[in-house]
Amino acid sequence: MIQFEWLWSLMLLPLPLIVRFLLPAAQTVEDAALRVPFIEDFQTEINSGTSRKKNNWIRLLSIMAWTCLVIAATRPQWLGERIEIPISGRDLMMAVDLSGSMQVEDFNINGRTVNRLEATKHVAKEFIQKREGDRLGLILFGRNAYLQTPLTFDIKTVNTLLQESVIGLAGQETAIGDAIGLAIKRLQDKAASSRVLILLTDGANTAGEITPLKAAELAAEQGLKIYTIGIGADEMVRYSIFGAQRVNPSADLDEKTLTAIAEKTGGKYFRARSTDELDKIYQLLDQLEPVEQEAQSFRPVTALYFWPLSLALLLAMVITLSRLMGISR
């Protein structure tokens, strides 16, 4: 069906008539008081009759153009069929670490060595695509925490923004506490039983205004459940002038704090040493119990104003060309 957003704009239809009656008419100047009837006078009368018909057409086109312009001003819209939105009730906020340590290449995807952020993007992509019916948000943090997307059903945009994120975008350090604090702020007006934060990091808290444990206490008070994921391999081989050396690239990972954050909020801590483990973790998160909420629906709206507006501009062009042709003659 068609609806008009600003129907009151139809009150503008008689505006040209009002202006015509209120403003004084243009005075006509007659060149001579005495006219001699020659053959040219008959030609003039014929031309004046043709001109009168032309003016009537121009007047009609002007009325049509003005009407189309007013109709465009009412903002006509086409309302589509009502679409039901599946609602499972989960409000999931993802917080992804973009600090400098995420560039360590200790993950493998299809035989190719990649850094931790690339592995996170690869696995999280499928997890996000399965969030049909959930509202998903994205927080990116390093030295500072930034809300990349608020809670939304538009999971495609969330995934796109995650894939476009780069290491160091939010600073080189890690502010885990600030990321949790930002999630609390964005989820505090949501149903307490459906607030979930999935926090993924590969290090320890080295920056920020609030400590992770204090932020976890505030999260517990607000009913925010936090699932923490420690990412990074336990062992990798590094080559130097002294030969091959086996090192622990996750030595800086503060598993004790991440475990405490999860326990304080009723969540769980996961350790992801490979893409397979990370994928299994996301599969477990898929099983989070949804909270039933009232079904929501919407009707897609398509703007139609450009049709009458285009017609009004076309008629105005025809009127202008007609007048210019009349002047040139």
The answer, as to whether pTM is greater than 0.75, is no
Please report the pLDDT score of residue 254 as a whole number: 81
Q: What pLDDT score was predicted for residue 290?
A: 55
Find the range with the poorest average confidence among 27-41, 121-135, 246-260: 27-41
On the question of pLDDT at 261 being above 70, the answer is yes
285 vs 30, more confident: 285
pLDDT of residue 128: 85
The one-letter amino acid at 105: E
Q: pLDDT: is 103 or 293 the higher one? A: 103
Give the chain's mean pLDDT. 79
Decide if pLDDT at 246 tops 70. Answer: no
Task: Identify the sign of the CA torsion 125, 249, 257, 178.
Answer: negative
Helix H segments across the chain? 15-22, 39-73, 116-129, 155-164, 176-187, 212-221, 255-265, 275-286, 306-328
More confident residue, 47 or 61: 61
Residue 147, pLDDT > 80, answer yes
The Cβ-side half-sphere exposure at 222, using a 13 Å CA radius, reads 23
**DSSP codes, 104-154:** ---EEETTEEE-HHHHHHHHHHHHHHT-TTSEEEEEEESSSEEEEEEEES-
- The residue among 206, 89, 105, 91 whose CA lies nearest residue 149 is 91
Dist CA 93 CA 85 (whole Å): 19
Instruction: Decide the pairing of beta strands 91-97 and 135-141.
Output: parallel
258: part of which helix (H) or strand (E)?
helix 255-265
Residue with tokens 């909020």: 265
Report the pLDDT value the prediction gives residue 300, as an integer from 0 to 100. 81
Which of the residue ranges 111-120, 157-166, 212-221 would you say has the lowest mean pLDDT?
Answer: 111-120
Tell me phi and psi for residue 209, to 5 degrees. -90, -15
Structure confidence by residue, pLDDT tens digits, 199-221:
988 878 888 888 999 999 999 98
Convert the pLDDT of each residue in 11-55 to its tens digit.
988 888 888 888 776 665 555 554 555 545 545 554 555 566 767
pLDDT value of position 42? 45
Tell me the angle at which helices 212-221 and 255-265 cross, rounded to the nearest 10 degrees. 10
Residue 264 has a pLDDT of: 92
